[in-house]
Every structure is written in C-alpha cells, then in structure tokens.
C-alpha cells in the first residue's frame, strides 16, 4: 500500500512538472526531456540538412507562405557543421520567421549525426488561436521534423519547430513527438 501511494505521488508530481515545463521540453535521440544534456553544445538556433543531391547542384527550397527560397549546394550542406557558417545561416533563416513570429526561445545542438534544433515563437497574428496546427512530417522536404502550436487557454499561442537531421532516426523521432503532443493535449 505504501509503495502504491509513493508511485501515485511520483506520477502526480510528473504530471505537474510536465505542465510547468511544457515550454522547456526538448527531444533528444527520440526521448522527451526537460533540459539539454550537459555535454551538448548549443551553438545556434536553426539549421537543416538537405537530402542527397548531385554535388554542386543548386537547389531552391521555399518556405510555406514565402516567395523567396533558400539557395545552397550539397557542399555547403556538408560544411554546415562549422559553427560560424551555421550562425550565419541561422540569421538568414530566422529573418524569415521574424515577419510572422516573435522569437521566444531557440536551441541548436550538434553531436555527430544526432543533431536537432528547436525554435519557439509567438504568432504575430491570431489565425491559429484556439486550434491545433500541424504540418510537415516529411511533406516539407528538406525538413525532417514537425511544426505544432501549443495553446495555453487560447491566450498565449506559440509555435515550435522540431527538426531531426538523422533520417534513420526520423520515424522514432516523429513517433515520440506525437506522443509528447498527445500527452500535452491530455494534460490540458
């Protein structure tokens, strides 16, 4: 009986903690966690790796709702592990978000092929209020990730983008992302 009581208290504290820390949730190697591993280096905010294309062939990818695309080559993609390059690339990407979103928080982590970025923004318009909005999960090449809005009683609307850069890990990454989303819905 005492063990059951302890388990119940732990479960209740986990739910409360998840509610308090939702905005701080990260996905690392397919697992939800409330902080980044201490040995990881957060160096920038936004970056993505393109699919394999012929070397030096220029590819244009357009953001939904934007007319201007991003031009880069496979060589540039391979070079993107360089910290300064990533920071410059991130500035260019983030400028696009700034038109519609107010940046609240951003994280970027590299650990070999296990890379991910999280950007959390507050929508500047009210279009998505009181509803969930999901797009991505493979349909927005070259993004291996998912966008979603987190609503807090319809008052503060935020959009978070999770990117997974190792395609082999993507199914697990997406599955865990949806589990986190479903947990959030159940908790609220």
Q: What is the DSSP secondary-structure string of 165-178?
A: --GGGHHHHHHHHH
pLDDT at 102 over 50: yes
- From the list 188, 167, 130, 156, the residue with the least C-alpha distance to 52 is 167
Please, which pLDDT band fits residue 38 given cuts at 50, 70 and 90?
Answer: very low
- From the list 161, 66, 162, 158, the residue with the least C-alpha distance to 121 is 158
3-state DSSP assignment of residue 65: coil
* Distances in whole angstroms, Cα of residue 3 to Cα of each of 6, 9, 97: 5, 10, 49
pLDDT at 47 over 50: no
Which has the higher per-residue pLDDT, 114 or 124? 124
pLDDT of residue 135: 30
Region 113-133: mean pLDDT is 40
pLDDT of residue 92: 54
Region 31-60: mean pLDDT is 30
Region 101-122: mean pLDDT is 46
pLDDT of residue 36: 36
Which has the higher per-residue pLDDT, 50 or 127? 127
DSSP one-letter code for 55: T
H helix runs in the chain, sequence order: 2-20, 74-79, 83-98, 170-187
Please, which pLDDT band fits residue 58 given cuts at 50, 70 and 90?
Answer: very low
pLDDT of residue 91: 54
**Other C-beta atoms within 10 Å of 72: how many?**
18
Cα–Cα distance, 181 to 188 (Å, whole number):
11
Q: What does the pLDDT look like over 5-15, one tens digit per residue?
A: 433 333 333 33
Please, which pLDDT band fits residue 95 given cuts at 50, 70 and 90?
Answer: low
Sign of CA dihedral 131, 91, 172, 31: negative
């Amino acid at each position: 009986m005492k063990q059951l009581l302890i388990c119940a208290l732990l479960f209740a504290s986990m739910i409360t903690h998840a509610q308090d820390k939702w905005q701080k949730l990260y996905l690392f190697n397919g697992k939800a966690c409330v902080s980044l591993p201490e040995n990881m280096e957060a160096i920038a905010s936004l970056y993505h790796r393109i699919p394999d294309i012929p070397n030096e062939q220029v590819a244009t990818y357009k953001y939904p709702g934007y007319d201007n695309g991003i031009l880069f080559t496979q060589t540039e993609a391979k070079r993107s592990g360089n910290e300064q390059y990533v920071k410059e690339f991130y500035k260019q990407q983030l400028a696009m978000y700034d038109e519609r979103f107010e940046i609240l928080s951003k994280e970027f982590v590299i650990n070999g092929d296990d890379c991910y970025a999280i950007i959390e923004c507050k929508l500047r318009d009210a279009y998505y209020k009181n509803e969930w909005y999901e797009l991505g999960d493979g349909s927005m090449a070259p993004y291996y990730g998912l966008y979603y809005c987190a609503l807090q009683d319809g008052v503060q609307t935020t959009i978070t983008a999770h990117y997974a850069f190792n395609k082999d890990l993507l199914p697990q990454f997406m599955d865990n992302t949806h589990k986190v989303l479903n947990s959030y819905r159940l908790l609220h």
